[in-house]
Chain A
């Protein structure tokens, strides 16, 4: 009984998480400039306009240019840091951990304006895709290493029982 009530709550919670997000795409087919109900008719014209908008395509391309290297670099850094902390007897572990945790206790905006101060005010460099990428590496890093060290402790037992992993000796070692 209690389990069912909790399950019901969990479903309501999922509805709260997903409903607003799923509502948005509905309006991409709506024949109205404004995002309001009632819906005024099906159209695909916004998708046509999107395809013809050079600014949007340029922005999308910029996003891809930033996302791919940032994800690769921060994931690699995160794995290395988590491995170093988890498997090797490092000296100064406490201060290193404090340093890794630091981006978590600083609001992102403050990280941003500090970077701006350094790039614009001190180095005198212009803002560019590279500077955006640098900022994102820092922001991703603060969660990346934790995914591999802390959150993985939650997933590993589940993963280990998964047939894909328990059936392949190499992966089993990876998840250990």
Chain B
């Protein structure tokens, strides 16, 4: 009973702010809007539009966003894993300090973290000026900013510390004796990583992937600040449909389509991990 009393407020908030609005969003994706008037007769029109030639741009943006987000999430895992490993196995006394050090950048506004990449990559930015000062280039390179690479880089930077903590938690649970035993039996370092560490760290790794992949799929601030036209993502299209273009039902349908795509990609990723034997429980 006391448990329910403690649980009820959170459940009520989630119900009112998540369950009901999502249901309404789904309902709205079956409506149509002409001008400012919304017609609530259910129709599949919006989805048909997204699948027809009319929706080619949206489909392209969706595919690109999946690639950009997956690339950023993968880069985040690669960067964060060794750090989490270092904190879990090599840091003895100052673990809290290290965890704080990788978390503190998150206390700085997301907008500032993204904007700082304009300073880094811009025409007169740090990277160009640095390269000129060193003498590697003579003219600033203007292709650093406003492209997909800049979006991936900015996203990787902004989300990377998010991954350290979950990976660290799962690495910490690994018994070092397992690694010693494997080494004694002749496993190379790479084999130990693949056969012991990665499967046991999988819960943390997949949580980290999820924590980066899902939110970046909806990001429209980063692409609009550093992406240019080449780096525009599905979030920009959705934001525009709910704003300037003012076609909320189509925007709702596009949001649902995005969510479905995210779910499919995550299911495929889980399946691949399981088949390759990396997922714990089946080896």
Contacts and interface: CB of A to CB of B under 8 A. Distances in A.
B86 interface: yes
A89 interface: yes
A17 B2 contact: no
Nearest to A134: B17
Given A99-B14, A109-B238, A117 B7 contact: no
A135 B14 CA distance: 11
A21 B157 CA distance: 10
B108 interface: yes
Interface string B227-255: 00000000100110010000010011001
Interface residues of B, number: 79
B25 A114 contact: yes
A17 B18 contact: no
Interface in B113-171: 113, 115-120, 122-126, 128-129, 157, 160-161, 165-166, 168-169
A109 B255 contact: yes
A121 B248 contact: yes
Given A37-B129, A137-B13, A138-B14, A110 B218 contact: yes
Interface in A1-46: 3, 6-7, 9-10, 13-14, 16-21, 23-24, 27, 34-38
Interface in A82-128: 83-85, 87-90, 96, 99-100, 102-118, 121-122
Interface string A147-169: 00011011100110010000000
Contacts of A10: 82-83, 86-87, 98
Given A17-B161, A23-B119, A114-B24, A96 B86 contact: no
Contacts of A151: 165-166, 169
A131 B120 CA distance: 35
Interface in A61-90: 77-78, 80-81, 83-85, 87-90
Given A7-B86, A107-B217, A113 B25 contact: yes
A162 B128 CA distance: 46
B63 interface: no
B22 interface: yes
Contacts of B185: none
Contacts of A116: 242, 248
12 contacts: A9-B83, A9-B86, A35-B124, A84-B6, A104-B210, A107-B214, A108-B215, A115-B21, A121-B28, A137-B17, A150-B166, A151-B166
Given A96-B11, A105-B214, 18 more contacts: A6-B82, A9-B83, A13-B79, A21-B108, A24-B119, A36-B122, A80-B10, A85-B7, A99-B19, A102-B18, A105-B210, A106-B22, A107-B218, A110-B25, A110-B255, A113-B25, A113-B238, A141-B13
